Structure 1
Amino acid sequence: MSVELVYETHSITEDNEAGIATGWLPGRLSEEGRRLAVELGQRRPASGFAAVWSSDLARAVETVELAYAGGGVPLHVDARLRECDYGALNGCPVSELRRVRLDHVDVPFPGGGQSYREVVDATAGVLRELRRDHDGERVLLVAHSANRWALQHLLDGTPLEHLVTAPFDWQPGWEWTLT
């Protein structure tokens, strides 16, 4: 059997609009982000999923709550779906972070941060659980860019080094089949 996995990034935040790399800071959806979160629930109705899994960071939780509150689908909030912890760079300008991403594929960000490889490992743990608990079902994950890169690395085989240096490539969701 298999799991149909649908992935969406959290909705647009005030930090996104200001060019700030939020990292492990909570972040808050912007007015446009709140509108798009409601649209997510319309575009991908709760009835299409056995469960919705979300990062525990506020911007992802807010996205899921606006999209699916009262929708009757089980919601799971999981810290393993957090954005990469940029350590001392949490909250820095995206332009500053972009310059050093490649340096932190395997080496944690300074100031108690983590590496992108650690995000891959955490995301892999979620995938193992999804395979075990949701065989034959369709599941939605709502998280962050680092988790999308982790999924592309784990499920498509794309080198992590390529993903962290590529321009952000938003689209209305990604889909995979977990076997």
Structure 2
Amino acid sequence: MATDLTVELVAVRHGITAWNLERRYQGQRDIPLLFPDAQAGLITLREALALESFDLIYSSDLHRCQQTLEWSQAADTGAPVHLEARLRELDFGDYEGKVYDELKDLPHYRAWIDSVGELQIPGGESAAQLRERLDAWLSDLAADARANGPRKILAMTHGGVIRELRRRFEIIHFWDATVLQAQGRRWQLSYHVDEKGQGEWQCSSSSAVPALASATP
């Protein structure tokens, strides 16, 4: 296969909300950031991105992601910002607003946990449906990069979205793919097109955002 293009993708989870602290399933509810609790993480994120510039920025259209983007100041260099509903969190349906103790005895909830998110949530989505909308978004990234050349892209999004992207690019287990609020991942990606014209993303490297401190010798 030939390499048509390369993309550096930085995906960041929004800052802390009240529902994060209460451990409620947040999903697509439009919950704002919680201050002052969110502030320390947002400042650290802003410092981590201070010397970076992006060609293009995507943000989930939910308010907590837009707030995090504003705090990060990543768009201040003039990169165009696109609000992107496909970067919303998994739709938790009937589970949204609830905590584990309210759900743990429900058979469909236990089945969903045992399926590692693959079952569809009542009134909500399955992991496969989340992946489907992310695949469509990634196809658009490929089309943009093919038209405009190598790109550096920031995606301000949610924990479930980054989990699925990590599972795709890093090939790790569901439970190992968690990122904390105001943190994320950086991937160096290449897009390959085969002789039949079918495209595929491949990842050559992955790292934490903000970068992890080097271990002291």
Q: Give the number of aligned pairs.
A: 174
Measured on the aligned residues, the alpha-carbon RMSD in Å equals 2.5
Of 117, 127, 148 in structure 2, the residue corresponding to residue 116 of structure 1 is 127
State the SS of the aligned residue for 2:180.
coil
State the SS of the aligned residue for 1:48.
coil
Q: TM-score, normalised by structure 2?
A: 0.70
Counterpart of 1:55 in structure 2 is 60
State the SS of the aligned residue for 1:2.
strand
Q: Sequence identity of aligned pairs in percent?
A: 27
Counterpart of 1:90 in structure 2 is 96
Residue by residue, what CA displacement relative to the aligned partner does 1:128-162 show, whole Å, maximum 9, x if unpaired? 1112213411111111111112111222233xxx3
Q: CA distance change for structure 1 residues 121 and 5 in 2, over 3 Å: closer, same or farther? A: same
**Paired residues for 1:24-63 under 5 Å:** 24-31=28-35, 32-45=37-50, 47-63=52-68
Counterpart of 1:106 in structure 2 is 118
Deviation of 1:24 (Å)? 1.1
Distance 1:72 1:87 in 2: 36
Deviation of 1:82 (Å)? 0.7
Q: CA distance change for structure 1 residues 73 and 39 in 2, over 3 Å: closer, same or farther? A: farther
Gaps spanning 5+ residues in structure 2: where?
191-217
User: Once superposed, which parts of structure 1, at least 4 consecutive aligned residues long, lie more than 3 Å away?
Assistant: 94-106, 165-169
Gaps spanning 5+ residues in structure 1: where?
none
Between 115-124 and 131-140, report the one with greater CA deviation. Answer: 131-140
Counterpart of 1:154 in structure 2 is 168
Q: CA distance change for structure 1 residues 107 and 137 in 2, over 3 Å: closer, same or farther? A: same
State whether residues 38 and 67 of structure 1, in contact with CA within 8 Å, keep that contact through their aligned partners in structure 2: yes
Q: TM-score, normalised by structure 1?
A: 0.84
Deviation of 1:38 (Å)? 4.4
State whether residues 2 and 136 of structure 1, in contact with CA within 8 Å, keep that contact through their aligned partners in structure 2: yes
Of 136, 143, 159 in structure 2, the residue corresponding to residue 125 of structure 1 is 136
State whether residues 52 and 139 of structure 1, in contact with CA within 8 Å, keep that contact through their aligned partners in structure 2: yes
Deviation of 1:28 (Å)? 1.3
Q: CA distance change for structure 1 residues 81 and 101 in 2, over 3 Å: closer, same or farther? A: farther
State the SS of the aligned residue for 1:157.
coil
State the SS of the aligned residue for 2:115.
helix
More strand by share: 2
More helix by share: 1
